[in-house]
Amino acid sequence: MSRGGTRGHTRVRSVRGRSEQSRRWLERQLNDPYVKRAKAEGYRSRAAYKLIELDEKFGMLKGVHRVLDLGIAPGGWAQVVRKRAPKATIVGIDLLPVDAIEGVTILQMDFLADQAPDALRSALGGEADLVLSDMAANTVGHPQTDHLRTMGLVEAAVEFACEVTRPGGSFVAKVLAGGADSALVATLKRNFATVKHAKPPASRKDSSEWYVVAQGFKRRQVPAED
C-alpha cells in the first residue's frame, strides 16, 4: 500500500494474486470515513451508521422495548439498538455465525426455516416494537435474479412483521433500486400508518440499496377477497 493523493488518500498497489476488483474494494474500504469511524467507535460495520441516520430521521428507536433484527450479522445494527435503547430485549437471527453481543439473543438459523418464527417469538417474549431487516440474498451475478431473491426475503420479513408487531410499532427493511414494489408497498400501507423510502448518507451512492420505513402498525390487515 502507499499513501498519496490529496488529504491523505490511501492507494493500494496491484500485486500478484490480488484481482483488480479486490484492489479497488480494499482501497475504498481504507478511505471510507464510515469504516474509519466504525472502527474508532467500536461498531462492527459501517452499516451501523445507516440505522443511526434512519433513526435520527424517523425516530424508530425511541421508547422501544422489544426489537427483532433479521439478518443480524455482523451485529452493527444490534449494537446501535443496544446503545440507544439499553433496556430493550433484542433478538437477532442469521445464517452466519455472529460473535456474542451483551444483552442480545442471537439465533443462528435460516429465517425462512419452518421453526424460525416460533423460535423468534419465544426468544422475544412478546410483541415487537420494531422489526429490522437488513437481509439480502447471496448474489449469483444475475441482477434480475438477485433482485427477486432479495425481495423475496423482504416479503417474508413483512409477512412476519405483520404477525409479531404491536399496534403503533415500526418496520424497517433494506430493499434494492427502485424501492419496494407496488404490491409490497400496498401491503405495508394496509398495515402501517406511514410508509416511506429513504437512502441514508451512509449508504454508498453507487449502491442499489434503499430502505423502506413503515411506522404506526395498525394491526394486521388482510387483502379483501374478490
> What pLDDT, on the 0 to 100 scale, is given for residue 178?
60
Judge whether residue 4 has pLDDT over 50.
no
For 128, the grid coordinates are 415487537
Same structural domain, 132 and 180: yes
What band does 151 get if pLDDT is binned at 50, 70 and 90?
Answer: confident
- Answer whether residue 224 is part of any domain: no
Domain encompassing residue 25: 2-31
- Answer whether residue 36 is part of any domain: no
CB count in 10 Å sphere of residue 6: 5
pLDDT digits (tens, 9 = 90+) for 10-38: 554 555 555 655 545 444 554 567 788 88
**Residue stretches of the annotated binding site for S-adenosyl-L-methionine:** 75, 77, 94, 110, 134
CB count in 10 Å sphere of residue 157: 23
DSSP-derived 3-state class of residue 170 = strand
**Residue stretches of the annotated binding site:** 75, 77, 94, 110, 134
> What pLDDT, on the 0 to 100 scale, is given for residue 20?
55
Do residues 116 and 94 lie in contact, with contact meaning Cβ atoms separated by under 8 Å? no
> What pLDDT, on the 0 to 100 scale, is given for residue 1?
38
- Answer whether residue 99 is part of any domain: yes
Same structural domain, 6 and 104: no
Cβ burial, residue 85 (10 Å; 0-12/13-18/19+): buried
Average pLDDT value for residue range 164-169: 97
Give the end-to-end CA distance of the chain in Å, rounded to a whole number.
64
pLDDT digits (tens, 9 = 90+) for 100-140: 999 999 999 999 999 999 999 999 999 999 999 999 877 66
CA–CA distance, 55 with 41 (Å, rounded to integer): 18
Query: Catalytic residue positions?
Result: 174
Between 11-20, 82-91, 113-122, 179-188, the lowest mean confidence (pLDDT) is in: 11-20
